[in-house]
Structure 1
C-alpha cells in the first residue's frame, strides 16, 4: 500500500469520530472488533498496509506474546480477513531451516467510495484498501437542479461507479463525500440565506447512510486539507491552511495537527473577506484575475490595442491571462502583480488568524498560479507581525477533494469499517 495507508504513517484525515477530532499526521489505529479479543484489533492495526508479514514481525509490531499473536492471526485467517501466503521457501526467498509462515491483509478485502459533490460537478471514485482506483466517474451538475434532482443524480452515478468497480456492496467499508458547504458533525449543513448549502448538501448523510458501515460527509476544503496532509505539500506539517481558490475561497485549517471544525462546520467559510478592505469578497483567484484584467482595460491603464485587449475581445479567462503573462506581456504581468497583492492580503488575514506555517493554494487553478504566488510573497511580509507563512502551490490538481475523500474513507475503514467486517464474520 502507499504511504497514506502505511501503519506507521496513517492518513492525516478525520476518522470516524468526525472532523475536528482528528490529528493531522497522528496515529489512526484499528479498534478491536466488537465483542472480540483486543489482540485481533492490535494485529489488524499492525497488518494494515504492511504487505507480507510473519508472526514474529506481528508479535513485535503489535506488542503481544507469540502465542497470543499466532492465535489472533489464525482466527483472522479462519474468518477470511488475513490471507496466508506461500511460505518463504515456496516463494523462493528462503533456503535453510524451517520456513516462517507468511500472511497479509489483502488490499482487495474491501473497498472505499469517495464522492466530490461540487456546485457544478460530481466525481465518484472507488478504490481498494491500497488506494488503487477501481472505478471513476465524473459529470457536470446543473446548478439549477432541485434538491431531489441532485440527490437522484448522485445516487445514479454512485451506483454506476460501484457496478463498474465490480465490488459487491457488502464489501464497501467506508464512504466519504465532500460538499461545497459547511458540515456539522452529524453530516448536515446549516441553512444558507440563498439556499446554496442546502442544495450542495441535499441531506447526503441520510441519503447515503445505507451504502457503507461508515459514512462521512465533509466540507470540500476540509478534504483538501486532509489530502495535503496525507499526500501533498503539508506532509509532516502540523499548522497549515489548504486554500481552495478557484471560483470561491474556502479554507481547510489545521492547527497543532487538528483539522478545525467549529459548531456548524464553518471554520473555513471565507465570507469574512466581504468585510476586508482590499479583498472585498470571497471570490477566488479565477474571478479575481479576470476582474483585475477587465478593470485595467476599462481604466485605460492597459493598452487598448495590446494583447490583453485582444484577449478580452475573445473572452477573458484566468488561464488565458496567466498564459499571456508567461509570454512577457506587460499588461498581463501587471494583472499577475495586482492579483499577487490581492492574494497577499488574503494570506495575511489567514496568517494573523491561524498562524500557519504554510498556506497551500489548491484546486485546478493551482497548476498555473505560480507567478501569482511569487508576486504575493514579494508583498506579504510587511502585512504581518507574525512570521509570514510559506505560500505553496498544490500539486494534487482538480481532484484534490476526491483525494481527500479517499484518505478520509480509508482512515474510517481502518478504524471502524474493517473491525465491523471482522465482527460480522466472527459472528458467523
Structure 2
C-alpha cells in the first residue's frame, strides 16, 4: 500500500551552461537601513563560523538527506518540483539570471512544508515500531499490521500558520493517527478548513504564532501527545530536527538541478519564518558546493524580524509583534534554535522587507516578462524576490549584498497562490 501520493515528475528547465563571474566578497560589519526606503534593513553577517557540531551535521550535512530519501523511495511516484529559469525577469531587474524553485505542488500539499511534517510523523512511527519489534522496519511496513496497532493509539500535534500543520495532518491521516493542530487567531479560515479536511482537530489560540507554539507544547506535555514542532529552543529536539532534515530533500534537489544546467548561482534568497527552510537550503548548498556555494540571504517581513533581530543580538530572542504581515506564513517572532545556529554559521546576510514590497513582487511574477511563464503565487512565496528587488534599487545596499549585472539568483517559491 502506498503511503504518499506525489505528483508526476516535472521536467527540469533547460538552460545554457554559462558560469557566474567571480564576485567580490562584500562582507562588512554592521547593518544599514536606508533613508528613503525605511522599510528595508540589511545586516551583513561578518562573523560566519567554521565549527559545525554533530547536532547540525546530522540535520544539514551531506548525509542528512538519506533518511527522508529512503522513505520517499518507497513511494510508487517520487516527484521533484521544477526549477524554472526567468530570463525576462532577470533582464528587467538587470541581473544575469534568475531561477525559481517552484514548491507549489509539492506532494499535493502546495508547499515545501510537505517534506518536513510528513517525514517527521513517519520517523516518529518508525522509531516506535522499531522499539516494539526490536528491529528497524522497512518503509512499507509502516502501514498495516503491528504499525497500525501502534499508530491508532498515538496523537500528534503542532502549532502552525497553516502549511506545516497541513503536512503533519497529512502524515497523521496516512498512518491513521489522531491529530490536533493549534493555530493563532490571525490564521485565515481557508487554511483552517484545509486542516480539518485532512481530519485534524483545530484549536484556535489568542495571539500570534509563538503563542500557539507555547500552547501546543503545554497541552502535548499534559496529554502525553507527540509534538511535531517545526521550531524548538533546543538543538536536540528530535521532532523539530526531523522536520528540518526533511527539508534537506529540497536542497539536494536544487543542487542537482542547478548542476544539470551547469549553473553556479551567486546568491540564494530564502524567506524565513522560524528559519528551517532557509537553514536547510543555505546550509545544504554550502555543504554540497563549499567555497562555490551561493551567498545566502534571509528575507523576513519587517513586522516579524525573528532572525534579523536575533542574529544582531547574537542569541535567539522574540521580536515585538506589531500587527501582522501580508506574508502570513512568515509571521513568526522567534527563530528555531537549530535554524539560528546553522544560519549564524553560513548565511551571508539578513534583511527585512515591507508588505508593499512583497505585493509588488507578486505582481512582477504574475506579469510573465518576455517568454517567462506567468507565476501566480502568494506574498509569502514572493518574499525572496521582494528582498532582491529592494536591494537592487539602492546602490549602497546592492554593493553590500554583492549584487551586480553578473549576479545569478536562486529564489524559492515556497507555496502556491492560495497558500
Q: Which of the two has higher C-alpha Rg?
A: 1
Give TM-score, length-normalised by structure 2. 0.31
Higher relative contact order (CA 8 A, sep 6+): 2
Give TM-score, length-normalised by structure 1. 0.31
